[in-house]
């Protein structure tokens, strides 16, 4: 039997696919490995050895419901991602962008102590983020304050930023 479980939930952005693994330390008992949207670039697809288990995601689904209702700003979810060391470093940096704030790709690279030419690599790592919404890559915008790149589509990025009161806004 597989240790990977999944479910889908409805959201204001459409159907979300949640993929996780059992964890003795995670609130609700499931560590989240992926959260993706319908139509998302490079989104995972349900694999034959995954097991559908909506109950495993009750805690996470409730937090997402509260986030979309405007009642939750910080998620209490255990993540299990498998990026490169560089990707994990970038993803941890985007975890520090507060709710309702934005930053630019350049500022994020600077925060990581990277030279200006690394901005493209930072953008590529952000584009590979497997945990949309929860790991807030939507809060990274262009240096001129424009919406740029989002695996779930710019309409979803704009919705999420507006939901958080950060759009339209200047780079924070």
pLDDT value of residue 66:
97
Q: What distance in Å separates the CA atoms of residue 106 and residue 117, rounded to the nearest whole number?
A: 9
pLDDT at 145 over 70: yes
CA–CA–CA angle 120, 125, 127 (5° rounding): 95
pLDDT at 171 over 80: no
pLDDT value of residue 41:
81
pLDDT at 142 over 60: yes
Whole-structure pTM value: 0.91
pLDDT at 15 over 70: yes
Instruction: For the chain, give the percent of residues with pLDDT over 90.
Output: 81
pLDDT at 1 over 50: no
**Confidence label for 144 from pLDDT (cuts 50, 70 and 90):** confident
**Confidence label for 14 from pLDDT (cuts 50, 70 and 90):** very high
**Of 116 and 53, more confident:** 53
Mean pLDDT over 28-56 rounds to 93
| Order of strands, sheet of 4-11, starting from the edge strand that comes earlier in the sequence | 30-37, 14-22, 4-11, 51-52
| Residue for token pair 């939507």 | 138
So which residues are the catalytic ones?
137
pLDDT value of residue 116:
85
pLDDT at 73 over 70: yes
């Amino acid at each position: 039997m597989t240790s990977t479980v999944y479910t889908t939930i409805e959201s204001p952005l459409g159907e979300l696919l949640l993929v996780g693994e059992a964890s003795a330390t995670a609130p609700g008992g499931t560590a989240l490995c992926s959260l993706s949207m319908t139509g998302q670039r490079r989104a995972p697809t349900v694999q034959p050895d995954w097991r559908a288990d909506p109950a495993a995601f009750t805690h996470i689904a409730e937090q997402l419901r509260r986030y979309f209702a405007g009642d939750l700003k910080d998620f209490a979810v255990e993540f299990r991602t498998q990026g490169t060391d560089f990707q994990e470093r970038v993803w941890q940096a985007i975890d520090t962008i507060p709710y309702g704030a934005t930053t630019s790709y350049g500022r994020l690279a600077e925060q990581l102590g990277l030279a200006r030419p690394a901005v493209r690599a930072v953008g590529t790592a952000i584009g590979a983020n497997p945990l949309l919404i929860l790991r807030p890559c939507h809060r990274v915008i262009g240096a001129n304050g424009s919406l740029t790149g989002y695996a779930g589509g710019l309409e979803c990025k704009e919705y999420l930023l507006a939901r958080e009161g950060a759009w339209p806004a200047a780079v924070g």
